[in-house]
Amino acid sequence: MKQAFLITPRKIEIRDVPDPEPSEGEVVVKIQTALTCGTDLKAYLRGHSLIPMPGPFGHEYSGTVYKTGKGVEQFKPGDDVMGVHSAPCLECIYCKKGVYNLCETIMDQKALGAFADYMVLPERVVRQNLYHKPPQLSYEVAALLEPLACVVHPYNKLDMDNIETALVIGAGSVGLMHLAYLKMKGIKVIVSDFLDARLDLAADMGASRALVPRAVMNIIESMTGNAGVDLVVECTGQQGVWEKSVNYVRRGGTVVLFGGCPSDTTVSFDAARLHYDELHLMGSFHFAPADVKNAYDIIVDNRIDLSMLISGEYSLENMEKAFVLIEEGIGIKYAVRPYII
């Protein structure tokens, strides 16, 4: 089979490798669509600690069951499926406390290699986080299950009934999915970004206002009577933006720090704002099985339209062009399809 390998930053090779065979509890999926994502882009540009090089990469996928290992009963060859690349162990201290996204081994048995003809899914993924794809759902939208699961994760911890206004900083793929989710909840959403094409897309997806950063404060003051928005969602992963994010939220409001900064980054916040205004700063990482199920229901029930996030498609052999375009700010997500003729 054909498999894309990330060799070094900015170098992808398509290799011939043996077809995979499933072990007990595993499933081999014939990839119909794999999607580019921000994590893949970071790995392509400069490497990523969770994506070894050289090695296979890609983890947003949908496809058709090709083979099943011993003991797999809920899926059979020919079934269309959509899933994610990881699942918790259910045994470690964090799993026992119910914070499954922080499982000690959640990244040890993840499935990487969606940019390929076939990919093996570990037993724990098959058991907890793999779903049947309905016939009416496109493979491209089905492959958005993993990033949407990440997006819905922080909202389980918030009282959504008390959120009327929100600011989403960064109109990349995850920022736009946050917009779609918050709009689904009836929340007025301001979206900020530097790129006109992304702002236009945010407006098409229902943003109350979509504008460049320098114009954000005036709009927030006008919309909220100088109080500040109830919720800020930071989706850039940039140190300076993290620090500025608290400027836009009301007293008692919440800032979700969704965009991940490099691990050695330090940030500073105004202590008076945090203390006297009782701000809530909240990190958000990965997802739990309940988030995957929530995301699956949203997609399958067509509660939000995510099709506008797909900017085009490439064959496996030409997939590097997609990363070049995203680096240049052209497009949001690209579908990589091994079987384009």
pLDDT value, residue 48: 81
Residue 32, H or E segment: strand 27-35
Q: Which residues pair with 118 in a beta bridge?
A: 30
2-144+306-337 CATH:
3.90.180.10
C-alpha to C-alpha distances, 156 to 58, 149, 153, 325, nearest whole angstrom: 27, 11, 6, 34
Check whether 341 has a pLDDT greater than 80. Answer: no
pLDDT value, residue 54: 93
**pLDDT digits 0-9 by tens, 46-92:** 888 778 889 999 999 999 999 999 999 999 999 999 999 999 999 99
- DSSP strand pairing (249-257 vs 280-283): parallel
Using CB atoms within 10 Å of the CB of residue 317, give its burial: 0 to 12 exposed, 13 to 18 middle, 19+ buried. middle
Check whether 124 has a pLDDT greater than 80. Answer: yes
pLDDT value, residue 339: 77
C-alpha triplet 142, 284, 304: angle, nearest 5°: 35
**pLDDT digits 0-9 by tens, 204-222:** 999 999 999 999 999 999 9
Q: What percent of the chain has pLDDT over 70?
A: 99
Question: What amino acid occupies position 35?
Answer: L
pLDDT value, residue 340: 65
pLDDT value, residue 263: 83
pTM score, whole prediction: 0.96
**pLDDT digits 0-9 by tens, 294-316:** 999 999 999 999 999 999 999 99
Q: DSSP for 297-309, please give it.
A: HHHHTT-S--GGG
Mean pLDDT of the chain: 96
Q: How many angstroms separate the CA atoms of 290 and 296, rounded?
A: 10
Rounded mean pLDDT of 279-305?
97
Q: Is the N-terminal amide bond of 9 cis, ω within 30° of 0?
A: no
pLDDT value, residue 262: 85
C-alpha triplet 168, 171, 172: angle, nearest 5°: 130
pLDDT value, residue 46: 86
| Radius of gyration from C-alpha coordinates of the chain | 20
Q: What percent of the chain has pLDDT over 90?
A: 93
**Domain ranges within the chain, ordered by starting residue:** 2-144+306-337, 151-283
Rounded mean pLDDT of 253-280?
95
The CATH number of domain 151-283, selected from 3.40.50.720, 3.40.50.620, 3.40.220.10, 1.10.1740.10: 3.40.50.720
